[in-house]
Amino acid sequence: MRIATHTLGCKLNFAETSYLQEMFAKEGFTIVDFKGEADLYVINTCTVTSVAEKKCRTAIRQALSQNPSATVAVIGCYAQNAAEQIAAIPGVSIVLGNDRKHELLGIVKDLFAARDKGEAKEGEPMIDTGEPKSFVPCFSGDDRTRVFFKVQDGCDYFCTYCAIPFARGRSRSATVAETVSVAKKIAERGVREVVLTGVNTGTFGQGRGERFVDLLRELDKVEGVARWRISSIEPNLITEELLDFVAGSNGFLPHFHIPLQAGSDKVLKMMHRRYDTELYARRVEYIKSIMPDACIAADVIAGFNGEGEEEFLQGKEFIERLPISYLHVFPYSDRPNTMAMKLGERVPVEERRRRAAELQQLSARMRHEFVQSQMGKEHEVLWEHTRHVAVNGLNNNGLAEQGLEMMQGWTENYIRLQRPYEGGLVGMVTRMVVDGSTIVENFACED
């Protein structure tokens, strides 16, 4: 039996899809490419934007065009919030929200058994979108260089623009001890770098008397993992205690993804964010004071309802004043049932796109300035297995040579470097100077 998966959205989804792939593989299923013919297609969905939802519907059509008789299972956040809409698409067999998607293997086996007995009700998709309450720690993929480790799920914040709390449920996690136990299994696989993921990662342990920093301290003791990254953490949850720990830790890296969303206090208040620009600036400046070479990314939404040109320019100027390394920019997307639908004057879609493009240009400039600030400095690089054609490649004489086979890797502060391919270095951490020949200039950020 062949299974193909397609994942949309965040790294949390990728970790969960990998968990499902491993479960199906253990039951004898063969993992095949989503672009090929399969007996079962699994689409793990995202509902952050309308674009993500459109991509889900496109993936369903793609799967059915490749094998019209295949079983199609649609799971995840979009499935949670729009189950009936998805189930109405001809050919969809299973729609699971976030509480039961980890049980997909058993559900599929029951469906196939019912079909074999002639007991299945063809044309009636199985739907289950109960309130998400369960938590299953899991991690992504076969890549021994870098994996994404789900340590938290759900969110209690209910920002006015966001549908994720409705799709993912309340914040929840395993205990520190349980999470470390899974981390040790990751280490046993030879994984060199682990990225901690969640919906609101900094709320790990709430309700248990445990804190996110408590988890970091214990993970730092796990033998075998060379590097740990924190994928994203809210500015109001970043404490000086946490930052001081990262600065002095064995394996946690100076790379922070801190959502901003808006650089205007008026807009932040409309969004129901739990901080203001002053707090955000203090966090960024403190990071740079103790980790001068740290890489700091920020999420920004362009064209939120009620954001006038004055607020947009105010926000852009605020960002320009901060030592941020790059931005993740999103044009505002209306989400059904969110409070933002009732707030302020709507910004025209074309204006949202214009503002987003302006912020993306700012991001490119900030990224360039950050990389330039690291030129001539030596950093530790974790080398990956993929082979690449040279970008500003070197030959043995140190001269540019296009077409040379190269390997690439990330520095601890998230700069992509390259060197001539050498298989023995895959998964190894070595030191390299950032310069015009080692830098990979045209890359896409992956967090």
- Write out pLDDT tens, residues 233-278: 999 999 999 999 999 999 999 999 999 999 999 999 999 999 999 9
Query: Cα separation of 381 and 427, whole Å?
Result: 10
Residue 402's pLDDT is 55
CA 412 from centre of chain: 18
Residue 396's pLDDT is 46
Residue 253's pLDDT is 98
User: Which residues sit opposite 411 in a β-bridge?
Assistant: 381
Cβ atoms of residues 439 and 381 within 8 Å: no
Longest dimension (CA), the chain: 71
Q: State which residues of the chain have pLDDT below 50.
A: 393, 395-400, 443-447
| Phi, psi dihedrals of residue 395, rounded to the nearest 5° | -100, -175
Residue 144's pLDDT is 74
Listing DSSP states for 275-316 in one string gives: --HHHHHHHHHHHHHH-TT-EEEEEEEES-TT--HHHHHHHH
Give whole-number Cα distances, 242 to 239, 249, 407, in Å: 5, 10, 34
Residue 398's pLDDT is 47
| Four-residue CA torsion sign, 301, 303, 308, 310 | positive
Cβ atoms of residues 413 and 295 within 8 Å: yes
Amino acid 32 reads V
Residue 441's pLDDT is 67
Contacts of 117 (CB under 8 A, 6+ apart): none
Q: How many residues does the chain have?
A: 447
Residue ranges of alpha helices (H) inside 50-141 are 50-66, 77-81, 83-87, 104-116
Q: How many CB atoms lie within 10 A of CB 66?
A: 15
**DSSP at 29:** P
Query: Cα separation of 186 and 194, whole Å?
Result: 8
Query: Cα separation of 49 and 331, whole Å?
Result: 9
Cβ atoms of residues 290 and 254 within 8 Å: no
Cβ atoms of residues 206 and 229 within 8 Å: no
Listing DSSP states for 260-278 in one string gives: -B-S-HHHHHHHT-S--HH
Residue 401's pLDDT is 53
Pairing of strands 92-96, 405-411: unpaired
- Write out pLDDT tens, residues 288-332: 999 999 999 999 999 999 999 999 999 999 999 999 999 999 999
Query: Cα separation of 362 and 316, whole Å?
Result: 9
Query: Cα separation of 233 and 257, whole Å?
Result: 6
Query: Cα separation of 134 and 141, whole Å?
Result: 22
